[in-house]
Amino acid sequence: MRKTFIILSIVASVTGIIFLFLPMGSIAFLPATFSIIAAVVALLKSKKQSKALPKVLLLCATTIFFIVMAKDVLVNNKLTAEKELIKEKQETQTEVNKELQKPDGIERRQ
C-alpha cells in the first residue's frame, strides 16, 4: 500500500511540474494537491526507518504547490498589450490606405 501511494505521489508530482510549465492556468493545483495527499498517506503508512522518501516527496509536492500558487498570483494576464497592437495595426492600415490613394506615389521631375 505504501509503494502505491509513493508511485501515485511521484506521478502526480511529475504531472504537476509539466502543468506548471504549460500555460494551463491554475489546473496544476490538482496534481500538486493530489501529490501532497498521496505523500502524506505514504508517510503515515511508512515505518520509522523508511520515512525518508515520503518526506522528500512531501517536500517536493508542497514546493510545486507553492510555486503554482505564486505563479497564479504574480503573473498578470492583461490584454493591454494586445489592445495596443490592434491600435497600431489600425493606424498602419490607415497610413497604407492614404499612400495608396495618392495618384502617383513617385514625383516626376522635369
24, 36 contact by CB (below 8 A): no
pLDDT score recorded for residue 23: 78
Q: Which residues contact 15 (CB under 8 A, 6 or more apart)?
A: 31
- How does pLDDT run across 59-82, given as a tens digit for each residue? 999 999 999 888 888 876 666 667
35, 61 contact by CB (below 8 A): yes
DSSP state of 27: G
Distance between first and last Cα of the chain: 95
Report the residue count for the chain.
110
pLDDT score recorded for residue 49: 81
Cell of 108: 516626376
**Stretches in the chain below the pLDDT threshold 50:** none
Question: How far is residue 64's CA from residue 13's CA, in Å, rounded to a whole number?
Answer: 8
